[in-house]
Amino acid sequence: MSYLSPLLSMPGAVESGAPDAGVAAHYGDPLREQRALARGEAVVDLSHRGVVTVSGPDRLSWLNTLSSQLLLDLQPGESTETLLLTVQGRIEFSPRIVDDGETAWLLTEGWEAAPLADWLNRMKFMLRVEVTHASDQWAVVGAVKPVERFGDRITWIDPWPYISAGGYAYSVVAEPSHPGTDRPWFEHLVPRAELADAVHGIPLAGIMASEALRIAAWRPRLGIETDERTIPHELDLLRTAVHLSKGCYKGQETIARVHNLGHPPRRLVFLQLDGSQHTLPAAGSAVVVGGRTVGTLTSAAQHYEMGAVGLAVIKRSVDAEAELEVLDGEERYAAAQEIIVAPDAGQVVGRAKGFLRGARP
C-alpha cells in the first residue's frame, strides 16, 4: 500500500504526484505557503522520505571506506552528505548524514532507503555495525530555520552551498553571492507515530514550496537532477559531498580523473523560464538550442519572487550565452540560462588559480 501522510487530512491539503506522492503538494495557497516557509514561519512535511540508521563502534570508519566523504572525525550533531558511487563514478545513493555519538542517521529519498539498507547490509562482513531501515519509525520535517520545539531531536543541517573541507566549487559564484546562502535548510526527525502532534499549531507549507526554494538555491536532488549516468562534477556536488583527499573508495578514480585532467560531459544550469503561458513545463522536457536537443529539464517551479524557474542538465559544450528553449509536447518555453557548473569545470591540473575554488584552509 502506498504511503499517505496523516497531514493530508489537514484543511486544503492536495496530494503531490510522483516523486513526492504521499505528502501535500500544497494546502490551498502555494505561493503564500512558500513565502511563509522562506521566512521561517512554516514547516514542510517530508514524511515520505526515508531513514536508515547505522550503529556500532565501527560505523563511521566503515561508512568512510564506502563513500565519497571523509567521515572519520564526524562529531556528534555534525551534519554532512556523502555519495555512494559505481566503479565508473556514477551516483547510486546520496545519503545525508548526522551522527549522535552512537548512531549515524542517514536521511534519504523515500525510494532510496530500502535499497541503501540492503546494500549496506551486504557490505558489513565482520565489522561491528548494525544497519536498520527505520523509515517506518521516523518521519522528516523540513524548515529554513531550527524549529524550537524540536530542539532535542536529531536534526540534519544542509551544508549547501558552503565548500566543505576537501571539497571544490565548480560554480564561478562565490558563497556570499551564491543563491543557496538565502536558503538555510534543516531536516528534523520526529517519531512517525507522533508526526501530527509534533507539528500541531505550526503553519504548514506543501512540497511545491520547498521545491521552489530548492531550485532557486541551485540545490540538486537525487533522482530528480540525477540519472544513471550522473557523476558528481556535473551537479557541483564536489562542493559538499566529496572529499578530494580522502582514502580509496569505489568510484574515486573517476572523481580524480575528471577533476584533475578532464571535464564533466554535462553541466547543471538554472533557468529563468518564460512565465507568460501561466503553465510550467514538465520535468523530463527537452532543452533545445536552434532545434537541437542539448539537455533535459529536471525541475520546474513557480517561485514567489522570480516567477517560473527550473534546473536543467545540458551538454557542457552549449554556449553559456545561448538562449534555450524547453519543449513540452507542443508547448515551447523560452529559457534564459544562468551558469551553475562552469563550462570549463574540471582539469584543475595546470589551471590558473582563483576561478574555480577549493575549500577555505
Per run of 10 residues, the mean pLDDT along the chain (length 361 residues) is 93 97 98 98 98 98 97 96 98 98 98 98 93 98 96 95 96 90 97 97 98 98 98 98 95 97 97 91 97 97 97 97 95 96 91 55 44
Question: What per-residue confidence (pLDDT) applies to 14?
Answer: 98
Specify whether the CB–CB gap between 83 and 231 falls below 8 A. no
What is the DSSP pairing of strand 43-45 with strand 204-205? parallel
Question: What per-residue confidence (pLDDT) applies to 1?
Answer: 60
Cell reading at 141: 520535517
How far apart are the C-alpha atoms of 274 and 259, rounded to whole Å? 34
Contacts of 252 (CB under 8 A, 6+ apart): 68, 89
CA-to-CA separations, 202 to 11, 127, 316, in angstroms, rounded: 14, 43, 44
Scored b (16 or more CB within 10 A) or e, 152-174 reads: eebbbbbbbbbbbbbbbbbbbbe
Question: What per-residue confidence (pLDDT) applies to 349?
Answer: 85
Contacts of 176 (CB under 8 A, 6+ apart): none
Report the 10 Å Cβ neighbour count for 262: 14
How far apart are the C-alpha atoms of 259 and 349, rounded to whole Å? 8
Question: What per-residue confidence (pLDDT) applies to 361?
Answer: 44
Question: What per-residue confidence (pLDDT) applies to 278?
Answer: 86
Residue 225 marked ligand-binding? no
Could you tell me the pTM of the whole model?
0.96
Could you check whether the bond before residue 57 is cis, i.e. omega within 30 degrees of 0? no
User: What are the structural domains, with CATH classification, of the chain?
Assistant: 6-235 (3.30.1360.120), 265-339 (2.40.30.110)
* Radius of gyration, CA atoms only, the chain: 20
CA-to-CA separations, 27 to 10, 141, 193, 201, 311, in angstroms, rounded: 8, 16, 22, 15, 25
Question: What per-residue confidence (pLDDT) applies to 125?
Answer: 87
Question: What per-residue confidence (pLDDT) applies to 357?
Answer: 63
Question: What per-residue confidence (pLDDT) applies to 126?
Answer: 83
| Maximal C-alpha separation, the chain | 60
Question: What per-residue confidence (pLDDT) applies to 359?
Answer: 61
* CA 328 to chain centroid: 24
* CA 317 to chain centroid: 25
Cell reading at 9: 487530512
